[in-house]
Amino acid sequence: MAKPNKKQPTETVGIYCAKCKSKLFKYRKGGKGALVKCFKQRIVEDYTEIACFCPNCGIEFARDTLIRAAPAYKIIGGKVTVK
């Protein structure tokens, strides 16, 4: 399987909890599609205390996994919003 691109996207987006609107990540997202996964190497700023859990309301918004041999968070559908 192919690895993620070495050259990271330059545009950053904010990832927020869908329930309480708390900021979770500042992330370098490539493309125009929906947010399905977050590669850990592309996270610019992490505002969570416990990985994959919202710091404000405590819901689990992602699962820790390996995607294409790279550590990533697999986003649970409808738990986050991207701005």
Domain boundaries, the chain: 12-82
Q: What is the pLDDT of residue 47?
A: 97
**What percent of the chain is helix, strand and coil (3-state, nearest 5)?**
5, 45, 55
Q: What is the pLDDT of residue 4?
A: 66
What is this structure's pTM? 0.88
Query: Please, are residues 48 and 10 in contact by the beta-carbon 8 Å criterion?
Result: no
Q: What is the DSSP letter of 79?
A: S
Q: What is the pLDDT of residue 7?
A: 79
Confidence of residue 8 (pLDDT cuts 50, 70, 90): confident
Residues constituting the chain:
83
Q: What is the pLDDT of residue 1?
A: 67
Q: What is the mean pLDDT of residues 39-65?
A: 96
Between 59 and 8, whose confidence is greater? 59
